[in-house]
Structures are given as structure tokens and as C-alpha cells.
Amino acid sequence: MTVAVRKDDLPELRREHQLHMGHGHDVAWLDKAEVQAEVASPLFEAGIWSKERTGTVQPAKLAWGLKAAALSLGVTIYEHTPMEEVEDLGPKLRIRTHDGVITAPKVLFATNAWCAGHKKIKNYVVAMRDRVIATEPLSDEQLSRIGWIHRQGIYDTRTQLNYMRLTKDNRIVYGGRIGYYYGDKTDPEGDRKIEVYDRLAGYFFKTFPQLEDVKFSHAWSGPIDLTTRLAVHFQPYYGGKGVYAGGYSGFGVTASRFGARLGIEMLDDTGVPELDLGLANSLPRPIPREPFRWPGAAITMRALDEVDDKGGWRRAWVKMVHAMGFPL
């Protein structure tokens, strides 16, 4: 379900609804009363509810399932063995790790935000932190205050979007408020501090004030690979023997299946029609490097945090960042 948190967001939500309808998807429009009947929040003005072709994924189970599938095909997995260097041997590439080498004719680099350390890839990819908090399990009485009997996965239309879902044991997992650390750090000490999650918790209680007696049991974050496209792009290397596929910008749980498949088609030069898509053969807009990246990100984060409530210079800044290519 996508929910509009301001009346101004309704036209955009209508457009999204029409796009679904144009493709024949079974997506319901919910007016204020209807959305409140599904999930009660003083912020929700309207919603669209996609009832087919959508679902929620438990990402750890997905990873374990992929691992089991790979092992059943005879793949050997070496964990904690980072690629440290790539050498072009002509017909093959040699990947060096701390205690071994792998030689292969073709390599798909699917290293997500960690690639933001690479001298060329970093022109297009920023390593951001995406943050999540989880509540203790809600009692039946606490859950009844918000309804949510259909247990939809939800994201809202806030400029810095928030997303939320229920777990099997009725915790609410609530995410959003991305952050950036100087130099595209992928494991910053700063995100281990609990204060970093205060603002996210604040938005949780704005969304569900009727749950003010609920406590949080977990808070965590991870790196995402932000690009101006907010979707995958491909960068060929070593005369086409290597392809970097990434840039999912925090939307890659299902999209990375598509990205990986297309990356492999590219390496094998199969000529499938998808390779002619602009998505496959164009790059997103470049993003300024340090020392400009950090101050730019800091001002943008502040503007995004406050634009919906305070407007002013924040709106002008967000427009400028939009003009740079970020679809904010």
C-alpha cells in the first residue's frame, strides 16, 4: 500500500494509480476513510492498495534460499573473502583475494554500495545508510488500535519516505531517514549510536501516536547504492569481460534479480531485447565527488527532513537537486 501523508501528494498518488490501471494491475484507490479503515494513522490522507503481483519478502529467508539454491547447483561459496584486485590477463580476468586467486573469462561485479570506493564507479554511486527500527511485539489490544488486519507492506509519500510492515510476531518494522558519512563509508561507527535513530522514532510516533506506550527492541542500518536513477545501471569493464550491475538505491530486493540477469546477458552478449533498453545501455547522471559530496548530502538531508513541514529555502534546494537529476 502506498499512502499519501499530505493533501498535496494526492495528484502524484492518482498518477501512480492510473499507471497501475493502465497496465491492468488490480490496484484499489482508498479515500481517507477507506485507508483509515485499513490502517489508522492521523497522517494518512489516501492510499493505493496493490492486491496482486505484490507481496512482502523476509530478506534473510531470501538470502538463505538463494544460498541453498546455489549450493544445490554445485556452487562453492567463500564468505569473508573480498576481492582485492582485478588483473586483465587478456582472455581472462584474475581476481585476487587475501589468500587466493580466481581466474574467470567473465565476471559480474554485484558489490552494491561497496563499489563506491572504486575510482570510476563512484562518479555515479553514493554509499548511503538506510535505517530501520523495530518495536517489541504488539499485544492484540495494541494492534487493534491501528487495525492493519490485511498486514500490507506500506510506504508513504513523504519526501524522505518511510516504510513499514508487520512481522510474524506482530512487531512493526519501520524504516527511512537515510544518512551519509564523508568518503562513502560503508560501515561508519556513527550509525552505531542510538541518537541516530531518534528522528526515525519521532516519525514512527507521528505516524502511530496511538502506540505511545510501545517500545523499540532493535535499530540497525546498512549501506545502499544511491544513484540519480534510483534503479540499476550497468558499467562494462575490461573490454566487456567484466560488468558492474548496481545502483538499486535501496530498492533492490526484487530488482537485483533483473539486474543480475541482464548483467549476465551483457557479459554473454546474447542480444536479448532488454539489452536495447535505455536502462541497460545508458548511465545515470554523475554525482559530485568529495569534498563536495558530504556538504551537498548534509544540506540535502536537512532540506528533505524539513521541506514538508517548513518549506522555504528547503523547497528551492530540493528543486535544484531535482534539476541535477535526482527524482526527489
- Interaction site with ligand FAD (CB under 6 A): 82-83, 110-112, 114, 130, 132, 163, 175, 221-222, 224, 246, 248, 250-253, 256
Which residue has the CB atom at the shortest distance from ligand FAD? 252
Nearer to ligand FAD, 246 or 317 (CB): 246
Smallest distance, ligand FAD to C-beta of residue 215, A: 20
Nearer to ligand FAD, 27 or 128 (CB): 128
Smallest distance, ligand FAD to C-beta of residue 154, A: 11
Phi-psi region of 48 (alpha: psi -120 to 50; beta: other; left: phi over 0): beta
Smallest distance, ligand FAD to C-beta of residue 297, A: 17
Smallest distance, ligand FAD to C-beta of residue 82, A: 4
Which cell is 193 given?
549510536
Whether the bond between 11 and the residue before it is cis, its omega within 30 degrees of 0, is no
Cβ burial of 120 (10 Å; 0-12, 13-18, 19+) is: exposed
Spatial strand order of the sheet with 233-237 comes to 107-109, 242-246, 233-237
Nearer to ligand FAD, 48 or 142 (CB): 48
Closest CA to 30 of 48, 44, 14, 16: 48
Total Cβ atoms within 10 A of residue 283: 14
Smallest distance, ligand FAD to C-beta of residue 321, A: 21
Nearer to ligand FAD, 10 or 134 (CB): 134
Residue 283: DSSP 8-state: P
What is the rounded distance in angstroms from the CA atom of residue 67 to the CA atom of residue 84? 23
Nearer to ligand FAD, 125 or 138 (CB): 125
Total Cβ atoms within 10 A of residue 129: 23
Smallest distance, ligand FAD to C-beta of residue 102, A: 10
Closest CA to 132 of 57, 48, 63, 219: 219
Smallest distance, ligand FAD to C-beta of residue 256, A: 4
What is the rounded distance in angstroms from the CA atom of residue 263 to the CA atom of residue 272? 11
Nearer to ligand FAD, 40 or 161 (CB): 161
Which cell is 255 given?
530488482
Which cell is 308 given?
514538508
Nearer to ligand FAD, 59 or 273 (CB): 59
What is the rounded distance in angstroms from the CA atom of residue 202 to the CA atom of residue 162? 12
- On whether the CB atoms of residues 26 and 17 are closer than 8 A, the answer is no
Cα–Cα separations (whole angstroms), residue 323 to 15, 74, 306, 319, 328: 21, 48, 19, 6, 10
Smallest distance, ligand FAD to C-beta of residue 251, A: 4
Nearer to ligand FAD, 30 or 125 (CB): 125
Smallest distance, ligand FAD to C-beta of residue 246, A: 5
Nearer to ligand FAD, 163 or 182 (CB): 163
